């Protein structure tokens, strides 16, 4: 399945992934992403109708820690040390409510 990604679609995906693009990046990405999709269409040559997916190669299932395993945590200071905005030992964000 080969498909072109238009500049409009690029803008939509950029919005979904919260990425800012510069003017010339729309066209460039439209072309580059389309080229990449064109390449990966090679997979359609292979019949996979009765093949299962492999999401991970370890074969491990339901991995649990030992009970009472001493989990390392961060101190409040450590958890906050990289936050750009902090106030009263909390992380600051832009307001979510009351936005247009």
Partner 1 sequence: MNLNELTVTEALEGLIEGKFSSEEITKACLERISQKDPEIKAFITVIEEAALEEARKADEKISKLGKKAFVDSPLLGIPYACKDNFCTKGVKTTAGSKVLENFISPYESTVTALLKDAGAILLGKTNMDAFAHGSSTEESDFFVTKNPWDVSRVPGGSSGGSAAAVIADMCLFAIGSETGGSIRGPASWCGVTGLKPSYGRVSRYGLIAMASSTDSPGPITKTAQDSALILEVLAGKDPYDATTSPFPTEKYSLELQSDIQRIKIGRPKQYFELDLQPDVLKATEDFLEFLRENGATIVDIDLMDPKYSIAVYTVLQRAEVSSNLGRLDGIRYGNDRTSFGFEAKKRIMLGAYTLSAGYYEAYYSKAQKVRTLIIEDFNRAFSQVDVIVGPTMPCVALGIGESFSNPMFGEMIDVLSEPSTIAGLCGITIPVGVSSSLPVGAQIIGDRFKESQILRIANFYQQKTRFHLERPKK
- Give the binding site for partner 1 (CB under 8 A): 1, 5, 9-10, 13-14, 16-21, 25, 29, 32-33, 35-37, 39-46, 48, 51-58, 60, 63, 65-66, 69, 72, 74, 78-79, 81-85, 91, 93
Smallest gap, in angstroms, from Cβ of residue 99 to partner 1?
A: 16
Contact in structure between 40 and 5 (CB atoms under 8 Å): no
CB count in 10 Å sphere of residue 29? 19
Q: Which of 2, 4, 3, 26 is nearest to 15 (CA)?
A: 26
Smallest gap, in angstroms, from Cβ of residue 34 to partner 1?
A: 10
């Amino acid at each position: 399945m080969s498909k072109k990604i238009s500049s409009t679609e690029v803008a939509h995906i950029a919005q979904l992934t919260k990425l800012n693009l510069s003017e010339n990046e729309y066209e460039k990405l439209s072309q580059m992403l389309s080229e990449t999709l064109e390449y990966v269409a090679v997979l359609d040559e292979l019949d996979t109708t009765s093949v299962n997916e492999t999401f991970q190669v370890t074969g491990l299932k339901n991995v649990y820690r030992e009970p009472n395993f001493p989990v390392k945590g961060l101190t409040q200071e450590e958890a906050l040390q990289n936050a750009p905005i902090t106030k009263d030992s909390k992380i600051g964000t832009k307001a979510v409510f009351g936005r247009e």
